[in-house]
Copies of this chain bind each other. A is one copy, B any other.
């Protein structure tokens, strides 16, 4: 029996497209889930091996639901991330034209376009320039937009390439988002287990709970990281209703739990925070189409060789060998 993976549905969304880029998805059974909570519940209950859910979008920001749901129930960890360029297409049904010819409509014939509000917003400029007279009808997902174009409810859809393929739509225009470099980041979430081996370029995700009742509490957290040369690439504060006066911060850091540097930093956080939830160490995904950002400079003295050297020195001190 093949492993079963779920993803945030419906079929034909970017989440399915992201899941299909993973080697482990090739021989597995892939099923859509109606929502992020449903997807994660399937993992928690053991019905699925793992779930592919959106973490953040370079335009829309963090997916608050995903963060809350990962951190909120029984432990889950991220084992892979997938970063997908948000390639919106305009797709339409191929219709009978004249006697035997089937062809998609030309742009001038399109009066109505189904789109998720986020998609519509991201393609605002293109729509204004190319479909000026058309009405945009907002629907609940990119997948639903494709379905609505396929069943004839609307003339066209803004959707993911996989949504067009899946619904046998013809792609009238590609890359129609106003910002070409927009990305969505997805996480493959599983039940806890030994983390994937370090690759040399890994991410560690954490949910860090701190008491809100003193100035500088977050400063203490960041100091624990900086002192060990651990770079933080992302932070989101979110309210937590569990107890009054508590905040949770979602952090992404550069490095792997197996590293000395990261281990020391995690221990430090554990000591100074109300609670730390480890959300996984996993390989950093290459960002297709994105020019590489300049890597964060490790402060002098916090390279891996520095850590090895300092440990050797300490061992000599303890042995009394000067």
Query: Using a CB–CB distance below 8 Å, which chain A residues touch chain B?
Result: 35, 37, 58-62, 64-65, 67-68, 75, 77, 117, 121, 124, 138-140, 179, 181-182, 192-195, 212-216, 218-219, 222-239, 241, 244-245, 249, 257-258, 263-264, 266-268, 270-273, 278, 291, 293-302, 306-307, 309-311, 313-314, 317-322
A61 lies within 8 A of B310 (CB): no
Which chain B positions have C-beta within 8 A of A273? 301
B215 lies within 8 A of A226 (CB): yes
What is the minimal beta-carbon distance from A115 to any residue of chain B, in angstroms? Answer: 11
A318 lies within 8 A of B258 (CB): yes
Which chain B positions have C-beta within 8 A of A232? 215, 218
Each complex incorporates copies of this chain amounting to 4
A62 lies within 8 A of B65 (CB): no
A299 lies within 8 A of B231 (CB): no
With A219-B223, A307-B271, A313-B267 known as contacts, the answer to whether A236 contacts B237 (CB < 8 A) is: yes
B212 lies within 8 A of A296 (CB): yes
Q: Besides the contacts A218-B235, A270-B310, what 9 more A-B pairs have beta carbons closer than 8 Å?
A: A37-B121, A138-B140, A140-B140, A212-B233, A212-B293, A213-B295, A234-B237, A245-B294, A268-B310
Which chain B positions have C-beta within 8 A of A37? 121, 124
Please indicate which of the listed interface residues A230, A249, A313 has the most CB atoms of chain B within 10 Å of its own CB. Answer: A313
B257 lies within 8 A of A227 (CB): no
A59 vs B294: C-alpha distance when bound (angstroms): 35
A169 vs B41: C-alpha distance when bound (angstroms): 35
